[in-house]
C-alpha cells in the first residue's frame, strides 16, 4: 500500500495563514475580522507550532543568507499594546542576528523631514540575503498624519500639494514602490495586529500594575486611545487600498498573543518555503580546488602526527 505524499509546510500551515490574508481581491471590512480568534488551538498546541516555526525560520534564514538573492521585508503595524515588540522577539528567537535587522520609526527628525515621506524607510531596506523588520513603518505617514493633520502640516510639503487627494496619492506611491521592490527580489509581508479596545485597556493596566513594565507606559498612549474609532477607520482604508498579491496584508487576531505569533510565524514560513531556498553549490573548478586543499590539510595532519610519534620515541630512549 503506497504512502500518501507528505504535505508541504504551506499546506500544513494554511489554516493559520489563509483566513487572515488579504491581497486586495474582494471586499474588506475590518469589523468582520475577530480580534480574539484562536484557530481551534490552545496555548500548549500553539507553543509546539511556535517552536517548530522557530526552527524552520532559522533554517530558511541561513539558506536565504547563503543564497544571497532574495531579501525579505516584514512590516508590523498595530495600535499601542497590540504586541508588536513581543511578537518580533518571540518569533525571531534563535535566528542569527547577522542576517536580520529591526528598525523602529518614531517621530521624524529634522533631517528626515527634509526628505520625502518614504526616504527614511528606503535607506534601511534589507539587502539581499537578509530579513528586515519594520516595527511601524512608512504606513505611519498614512495613519498618524491622517488622524492628526497638524503633524502633516509640519512636514514641509508644498501647500498646494496638500490637497484632498494626498492619501489616495500616498497609497498609489506606496503600492508602486512595493511593486518595484518585489520585482527586484524583495518579499514583502505586512502584519496588522488587530487588538480589541478592551484588551488594550487590560494591557495598559498591566503595565501600570507591574513595576517592570512601567517603562512601557506613556500618557501619549491614553491620548491616542481617545481616537480609537478614527484609527480603526484609517487602518481599514490602508488595508483596502494597499493590499496586493505581491505585498499582502495579514490582519492578525491579537487579543491572544500566542495565537498572533502562530499566524505571523506561519505566514513567514509559508512565504519563505515558496522561494525554494538552497545552499549554493560549488562549481566543478571549486570542487577540484577543495579536493587539493583537503589533501594538503590531511597531509599536514599526518606530518604532525609523524613528528609527534618520532619525538615520543626519542624521549623514551
C-alpha triplet 277, 253, 188: angle, nearest 5°: 30
End-to-end CA distance of the chain: 70
Residues 6+ apart with CB under 8 A from 83: 193, 195, 254, 257, 260
Q: How far is CA 270 from the centre of its chain?
A: 13
Grid-cell match 508588536, residue found: 84
Give the pLDDT of the chain (317 residues) as one tens digit per residue. Answer: 555 556 788 899 999 999 999 999 999 999 999 999 999 999 999 999 999 999 999 999 999 999 999 999 999 999 999 999 999 999 999 999 999 999 999 999 999 999 999 999 999 999 999 999 999 999 999 999 999 999 999 899 999 999 999 999 999 999 999 999 999 999 999 999 999 999 999 999 999 998 888 877 888 888 999 999 999 999 999 999 999 999 999 999 999 999 999 999 999 999 999 999 999 987 767 767 878 888 888 888 776 766 776 666 666 66
How many CA atoms lie within 13 Å of 118's alpha carbon, on the beta-carbon side?
12
Quick one: cell of 21?
Answer: 490574508
d(CA 317, CA 311): 10
Q: How far is CA 75 from the centre of its chain?
A: 5
Quick one: cell of 160?
Answer: 498646494
Shortest CA distance to 149 belongs to which of 132, 169, 163, 133? Answer: 163
CB 75 within 8 A of CB 137: yes
Grid-cell match 523588520, residue found: 133
Quick one: cell of 269?
Answer: 514560513
Residue 33, classed as helix, strand or coil, is coil
d(CA 170, CA 164): 11
d(CA 208, CA 40): 32
d(CA 125, CA 134): 9
* pLDDT one-digit tens code per residue, 155-169: 999 999 999 999 999
Stated length of the chain: 317
Q: How many CB atoms lie within 10 A of CB 305?
A: 10
Amino acid at each position: 500500500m503506497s504512502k500518501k505524499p507528505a504535505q508541504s509546510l504551506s499546506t500544513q500551515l494554511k489554516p493559520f495563514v489563509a483566513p487572515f490574508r488579504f491581497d486586495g481581491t474582494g471586499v474588506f471590512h475590518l469589523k468582520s475580522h475577530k480580534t480574539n480568534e484562536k484557530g481551534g488551538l490552545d496555548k500548549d498546541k500553539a507553543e509546539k507550532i511556535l517552536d517548530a516555526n522557530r526552527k524552520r525560520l532559522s533554517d530558511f534564514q541561513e539558506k536565504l543568507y547563503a543564497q544571497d538573492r532574495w531579501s525579505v521585508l516584514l512590516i508590523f503595524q498595530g495600535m499601542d499594546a497590540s504586541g508588536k515588540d513581543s511578537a518580533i522577539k518571540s518569533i525571531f528567537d534563535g535566528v542569527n542576528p547577522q542576517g536580520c535587522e529591526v528598525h523602529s520609526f518614531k517621530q521624524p527628525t529634522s533631517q528626515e523631514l527634509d526628505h520625502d515621506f518614504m526616504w527614511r524607510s528606503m535607506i534601511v531596506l534589507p539587502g539581499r540575503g537578509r530579513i528586515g523588520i519594520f516595527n511601524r513603518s512608512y504606513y505611519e505617514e498614512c495613519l498618524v498624519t491622517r488622524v492628526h493633520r497638524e503633524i502633516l502640516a509640519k512636514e514641509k510639503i508644498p501647500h498646494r500639494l496638500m490637497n484632498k487627494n494626498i492619501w489616495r496619492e500616498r497609497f498609489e506611491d506606496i503600492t508602486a514602490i512595493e511593486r518595484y521592490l518585489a520585482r527586484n527580489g524583495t518579499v514583502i509581508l505586512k502584519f496588522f495586529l488587530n487588538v480589541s479596545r478592551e484588551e488594550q485597556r487590560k494591557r495598559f493596566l498591566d503595565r501600570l500594575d507591574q513595576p517592570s513594565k512601567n517603562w512601557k507606559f506613556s500618557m501619549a498612549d491614553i491620548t491616542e486611545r481617545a481616537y480609537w474609532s478614527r484609527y480603526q477607520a484609517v487602518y481599514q482604508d490602508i488595508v483596502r487600498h494597499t493590499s496586493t498579491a505581491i505585498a499582502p496584508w495579514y490582519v492578525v487576531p491579537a487579543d491572544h498573543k500566542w495565537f498572533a505569533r502562530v499566524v505571523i510565524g506561519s505566514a513567514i514560513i509559508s512565504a519563505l518555503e515558496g522561494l525554494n531556498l538552497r545552499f549554493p553549490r560549488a562549481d566543478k573548478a571549486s570542487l577540484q580546488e577543495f579536493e587539493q586543499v583537503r589533501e594538503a590539510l590531511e597531509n599536514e595532519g599526518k606530518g604532525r602526527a609523524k613528528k609527534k610519534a618520532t619525538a615520543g620515541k626519542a624521549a623514551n630512549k
